[in-house]
Amino acid sequence: MISPPKASRSSSAADLLAQLPTHPVPMRERAALPMSRHEMEQRGWEEIDVVFVTGDAYIDHPSFAMAILGRVLEAGGFRVGIVSQPDWETVDDWQRFGRPRLFYAISAGNMDSMINHYTANKKVRNDDAYSPGGRIGLRPDRATLAYCQRARQAYKGVPVIAGGVEASLRRLAHYDYWSDKVRRSILLDSKADFVVFGMGEDIILDIAQRLDAGEPVQSLRDMRGVAYAAGASESTPDDAITLPSYEEVVADKTAFAEATRIIHNETNPYNARRLIQFHDRRAVVCNPPRLPINQIAMDKIYGLPYTRRPHPSYEEPIPASEMIKDSVTIMRGCFGGCTFCSITAHQGRIIQSRSHDSIINEIEQMRDDPDFKGIVSDIGGPTANMYQMKCSRPEVEAMCRRQSCVHPKICKLLGTDHGPLVELMKDARKVDGVKKVMVASGIRMDLARRSPEYMRELTRHHVGGLLKVAPEHTDAGVLNLMRKPSGDDFEKFTEVFNEESSKAGKKQYIVPYFIASHPGSDLNAMIDLAVMLKRTGYRPDQVQDFIPAPLDVATAMYYTGLDPFTKKPVHVAKHLRDRKLQRALMQFFKPENYFEVRKALVQAKRTDLIGKGCDSLIPATPPPEALERRRNDANKRFRGEYVHTVPATSNKKGKKKQSRHRPGPGYRPDTKKGAV
């Protein structure tokens, strides 16, 4: 019988984080973790304890998991090597440092690899922000599977631990949008020893220390924050909730919806129970989440000696690095619980904040970097204004199973004081050498309006002309399914923002983000949104299409057509042609969208919006640009030039790599090639 997860172990790991030694290292003396055997030997190391394999370029900045986890292990006395964007067709890169003494740590990167590769319309993206030069094709589809299998092949017997967003959100049976089917737990396909879900600083240190002490990898099954697969002959815990099996959720969409409801009800680390889901005769066991780390541990993590730069071996700029290099993370977690967002599922609902001094110290270190231009590009996190907010009644929080602290209305027990954040913003911009401190993270509008002082500080000092907000929709039913505030919340926030900007003598504008094709959104709902955009003059340059990410509540709605919590039917726009119409409505003002918008209005019997009326979305006759686009599209279809392909690239040996759109063996390992 497996013992229940011990809070004491999680607590001790968090305490270990708080006890990590911190020796201030001047920026010019900091060195990235090794990416080659030569760099390893330069440090005087004969072997590596933990090898990180990641689908992202290695950027030694605390916005990237491989940097944070590698630095935490380094501070804990372990030797770490980074294998970034390896050639997955051979095991060579997995053998770069020799046999890892403790384990391989596998991650697809900061994003699910399928979302990284494909748009909502399932077309291949033209760039990858996490790769040198923004190039695509440097990681495989379903990268966790490929990387874990190669690790198994490289050195038999070395534990393989998978983590990151992709592995976390696929740890149980899940709907996969790109294959349009329910896939089984990633544990079974990857053959990893464990999936570590959620944030990983304390657990990876715990794993390393226990393996270093000689414990077998199977003994780690008592840890919070891990999921593992038990063999058909192994006993399973009797203190767990049994989810509908893989076979049941494949056969019955109601069973899938029920499994989703149970999973999301067991996410509060203070009361979550262990889950079991059978896949035929094998059981996937998911232990409760890790306990949140404290402020001392957060300060230690973000105070480690990051270079804040890409590894020096890169010759091309990395777009993600350029975007975040001068940003500062002040907190993690989100209690919004939006059904389409994976942040709450991955980072948790409990806000974990850094101390005021820790954040100011980081800004001062940035200031001392010769490359710093005086602009802090963002001071925030998953949201800009949840810093140090928490439940005012810890004893109630320990029992709470509410999915969102702010929906359908803000919980009366939630502390929403913006005072600590306002003080932090004031002190941040007072740091010598800092010209401007921007807020680029999303603003939670319903919280911001509760603090006139925050709105004044924000509009006067921290907006660079444009402020991004995410009302997401205008339809009350859709907003309820999203767990977002009502549409008038956006209107009220806009009024306050404009008023405060005017008082500050500044011309500043709001850039709202909306989602097309979210479950519950039909053509009538999107037409109402388009009319609102017409009346207010908003013309979104970018349109966000709903992408069903694994494990999200909205994904369950998309797949099943049901709200998992009520089992009521939900309208879903599944066909690409329907999604195309909803997308076009949000950019009705673009001449090239004329015919799609007209088709949507005719289909919805809203031809009153065609013509010269005040609310009319399009004129009665198509503009020349619309006719030209239709003609060009017809010519492309006639020539057959409408298939988006990815050209094959070459590996280090000059051999052509497999294109993702060409038949072939793909990433699956050849058991005879390079085996050890």
Torsion of CA 452, 453, 458, 461, to 10 degrees: 140
Q: Which tokens hold the place of 115?
A: 């979302």
- pLDDT tens digits, 133-186: 999 999 999 999 999 999 999 999 999 999 999 999 999 999 999 999 999 999
- pLDDT tens digits, 482-532: 999 988 899 999 999 999 999 999 999 999 999 999 999 999 999 999 999
* C-alpha count within 13 angstroms, C-beta hemisphere, residue 454: 23
In this structure, what DSSP letter does residue 218 have?
Answer: G
- pLDDT tens digits, 534-549: 999 999 887 899 999 9
Look at residue 563 and tell me whether its pLDDT is greater than 90: yes
**Nearest CA-CA partner of 53 in 80, 18, 22, 89:** 80
Q: Are strands 282-286 and 226-230 parallel, antiparallel or unpaired?
A: antiparallel
Query: What's the rounded Cα separation, in Å, for the pair 438 and 426?
Result: 12
**What totals of helices (H) and strands (E) does the chain contain, helices first?**
25, 20
Domain boundaries, the chain: 7-286
Q: Give, in words, the CATH class of 7-286.
A: alpha beta
Higher pLDDT, 650 or 616: 616
Query: What's the rounded Cα separation, in Å, for the pair 350 and 348?
Result: 6
369, with CB counted inside 10 A (0-12, 13-18, 19+), is middle
194 sits in which H/E element = strand 194-196
Tell me, what amino acid is at 3? Answer: S
Task: Provide the pLDDT confidence category of residue 429 given band limits of 50, 70 and 90.
Answer: very high
Count of residues making up the chain: 676
Dihedral sign, Cα of residue 163, residue 169, residue 173, residue 174: negative
Torsion of CA 416, 418, 420, 424, to 10 degrees: 140
Region 430-437: what's the mean pLDDT?
96
Alpha-carbon distance values, 185 to 9, 92, 117, 410, 649 (Å):
26, 28, 21, 35, 31
Region 245-268: what's the mean pLDDT?
98
* Cβ–Cβ < 8 Å for 579, 545: yes
Higher pLDDT, 3 or 364: 364
Torsion of CA 107, 14, 378, 497, to 10 degrees: 120
**Nearest CA-CA partner of 166 in 403, 342, 351:** 342
In this structure, what DSSP letter does residue 348 have?
Answer: -
Mean pLDDT across the chain: 91
Task: Provide the pLDDT confidence category of residue 264 given band limits of 50, 70 and 90.
Answer: very high
- pLDDT tens digits, 321-366: 999 999 999 999 999 999 999 998 899 999 999 999 999 999 999 9
pTM: 0.90
Alpha-carbon distance values, 547 to 112, 178, 183, 508 (Å):
12, 10, 17, 31
Q: Which tokens hold the place of 392?
A: 């005012």
